[in-house]
Amino acid sequence: MVAINKAYELARLRKIARITRSGHILDIGYAQMPNPYYKGVTCVGLDLLEPTVDCKYAETIVGNALELPEALGSRRFDWIVAGEFIEHIRRPYDFLESLHGFLAPGGQIVLSTPNPIAWPTIIFEWAQSESRFYTKEHLYYFPPRWVKRMLDVSGYDLVDTIPVGLWLPKFVLPCPAFLSYQVIYLAKPR
């Protein structure tokens, strides 16, 4: 995980919880930071690892998100959240396509991923520095317009693009998506 300040990560989780206010949630890749803001929902967490902190989810499953039928059977969810996940996998298009079968009618997906054109990333990229905003765990970086394209190709319509905010060392300021280090995408299947 890229070292981001806790206030920034919590801002992202708060925004995701505001989107997913009711129903059943599948939270994929949650174990390092379960969402403490889910209220009035039933949340199932799926990760390769057990949670590293206290988790109030209704159920946690140790399983592979790239093999959802084995982990979930025929279960369906109103929301599938994959926060800070797609940049870690080799075949993100296949992953997004695989989620269709696990969405309940009217269900939506919520993705968040780092933005490679955000100011902190650009600065460290220009400097060719691997000291911050770089990790060998990330296989890709997705600019906002390419996330929209990836969702489209994978059978989704983008409903909303939500910036987490301008990343600053100790706090978060509102900003447009192109400046936000992490961006949240809400999409529905076609």
- Give the distance from CA 49 to its chain's centroid: 17
Q: What is the pLDDT of residue 131?
A: 73
| Percent of the chain at pLDDT exceeding 70 | 98
Q: What is the pLDDT of residue 135?
A: 78
The fold of 6-189 is Rossmann fold (3.40.50)
State the Cα–Cα distance between residues 41 and 34, nearest whole angstrom: 14
pLDDT tens digits, residue range 112-151? Answer: 999 999 988 888 878 887 777 777 888 899 999 999 999 9
| Greater pLDDT, 4 or 116 | 116
Provide the 10 A C-beta neighbour count for residue 120. 19
pLDDT tens digits, residue range 72-98? Answer: 999 999 999 999 999 999 999 999 999
CB 58 within 8 A of CB 83: no
Residue 162, pLDDT above cutoff 90? yes
Place of tokens 């269709």: 100
Residue 166, pLDDT above cutoff 80? yes
Q: What is the pLDDT of residue 2?
A: 46
Residue 49 DSSP symbol = S
Write down the domain spans for the chain. 6-189
Question: What mean pLDDT comes out for the span 43-47?
Answer: 98
β 182-189/156-163 pair status: antiparallel
State the Cα–Cα distance between residues 71 and 90, nearest whole angstrom: 19
Helix, strand, coil proportions of the chain in percent (round to 5)? 25, 30, 45
